[in-house]
Amino acid sequence: MTLSNQTAKNPHVMFIDLNCDMGESFGTNIVGNDEGIMPYLSSANIACGFHGGNPSVMHHTVKLAMKYGVAIGAHPSFHDIEGFGRREMNLKATEIYDLIIYQVSALQGIVHVNGGKLHHVKPHGALYNMAAKDEEMAMAIADAIADLDATLILYGLSGSELIRAGKA
């Protein structure tokens, strides 16, 4: 049963979302054990190719999540494969908006052709941490997500600028 189905059935029952970053392998670089951990998750953040993952890994990870009824989220990052998305970058808000649109759309398409629906977006690494403190960056991310699909859930650090932007 997916995360959204759990909460829709009984909104008064507490539900803990067991969430994990997945699909971060690329080329011959294997990151993590997606096959082993996926059955235990309620939601997964799937790398969108800029810090890890690639189209084939994304497709495989989406199919794996769907097999186990795991809610699928996009995990966009700075374009930083060498630094695994952990290096801060100084980008304009319009560039942040574009990189979110690009990456989330790619995963959204893969989910769609497999008969699923994207559930959430959780920025990765330095993008996530910077957006927690930077209002303009947080708004660019939230605006991009809302423009793509206003029903998507934005995952962020509690009390952060990213959460405030998502609510706005």
| In-domain check, residue 132 | yes
For 83, the token pair is 């630094």
Q: Check which CATH number belongs to the domain holding 154 and give it.
A: 3.20.20.370
| In-domain check, residue 10 | no
Q: Are 83 and 129 in contact (CB under 8 A)?
A: no
| In-domain check, residue 7 | no
- pLDDT attached to residue 47: 98
- pLDDT attached to residue 115: 97
Q: What angle do CA 115, 59, 95 make, to 5 degrees?
A: 100
What is the spatial distance between Cα 22 and Cα 32, in angstroms, rounded to a whole number? Answer: 8
What is the spatial distance between Cα 138 and Cα 58, in angstroms, rounded to a whole number? Answer: 25
pLDDT in tens, the chain (168 residues): 445 555 556 667 788 899 999 999 987 888 889 999 999 999 999 999 999 999 999 999 999 999 999 999 999 999 998 889 899 999 999 999 999 999 999 999 999 999 999 999 999 999 999 999 999 999 999 999 999 999 999 999 999 999 999 999
Q: What angle do CA 156, 137, 154 make, to 5 degrees?
A: 25
- pLDDT attached to residue 1: 40
How many C-beta atoms surround the C-beta of residue 12 within 10 A?
5
Domain that holds residue 141: 17-167
| In-domain check, residue 93 | yes
Structural domains of the chain, count:
1
| In-domain check, residue 56 | yes
- pLDDT attached to residue 30: 87
| In-domain check, residue 86 | yes
| In-domain check, residue 4 | no
